[in-house]
Chain A
Amino acid sequence: EVQLVESGGGLVQPGGSLRLSCAASGFTFSSYSMNWVRQAPGKGLEWVSYISSSSSTIYYADSVKGRFTISRDNAKNSLYLQMNSLRDEDTAVYYCRGELSSGQGYFDYWGQGTLVTVSS
C-alpha cells in the first residue's frame, strides 16, 4: 500500500521555524519527483516547492523563496521542508506529493497533510 505520512506541523509564532517531514512507503521513492503543496484554511491549493528524484533540481514558489528549503533522503524514503521566517500567511495544511510519469502510466500520490499555524 502506498503511503505518504507528513509530520512536524504545529503552532509557531511569526518569525519562527518548523521542519516538516514526509515518510514514504509502498513505492520506489527514489524514482519519484516530490513536491510540497499547501492549502490555507478554506482556500485553494498552492504549489510550494519541488525536488527531483536525485535532488539535482529544486524549485520554490516566489512566496517562500529564500525562507523555505526542500530536501530529501532517498536512503530513508523521506522528504523534508525546512521553514524559516514564518509569516501569518504561511498558515496552511501542507501536503507532500509524489509524481512519476512512465510507460506504465502516471502516478500521483499525496499524504494526508500536516497543519502549520503561524500565530502569536
Chain B
Amino acid sequence: DIQMTQSPSSLSASVGDRVTITCRASQSISSYLNWYQQKPGKAPKLLIYAASSLQSGVPSRFSGSGSGTDFTLTISSLQPEDFATYYCQQSYSTPRITFGQGTRLEIK
C-alpha cells in the first residue's frame, strides 16, 4: 500500500495567516493527489484534486502544488471557517486509495 505522511500533525495559526501543509507519498504518485477539509461531525469536503485543481465552489485562497512524492496545500489568508482538519489522499492506486493521518488546524 502507498503510505501518505502529512506534516505537521497539528498547527496553530491566526486569522489572516498564510499556512502550508505538506504531504509525502511513500512512492511516486504523479499528480494523483487530493486534499480534503473535515469539520467536526461532518463529512470530508474536497478542496483540491489532481494536486493543483481547485474544486468548484472552493475559495481561491486554497491552492495545491507538487508532483511525484511531495505535495503542499496552501491557504493564503486564513479565515475563521478554515479551522478544521485537512487530509491528503492518493488516488494513484485507485480504487485502493489511502489518506494521510490528517493535520489539525487550530486557532492561535
Contacts and interface: CB of A to CB of B under 8 A. Distances in A.
A20 to B, nearest CB: 15
Interface residues of B, number: 23
B96 A95 contact: no
Interface string B24-51: 0000000000101010001111100110
Contact-residue bracket for chain A: 10 to 19
Nearest to A62: B1
B97 interface: yes
Contacts, number: 45
A47 B44 contact: no
Given A110-B44, A113-B43, A47 B56 contact: no
A59 B95 contact: yes
Interface of A: 33, 35, 44-47, 50, 59, 61, 95, 105-106, 108, 110-113
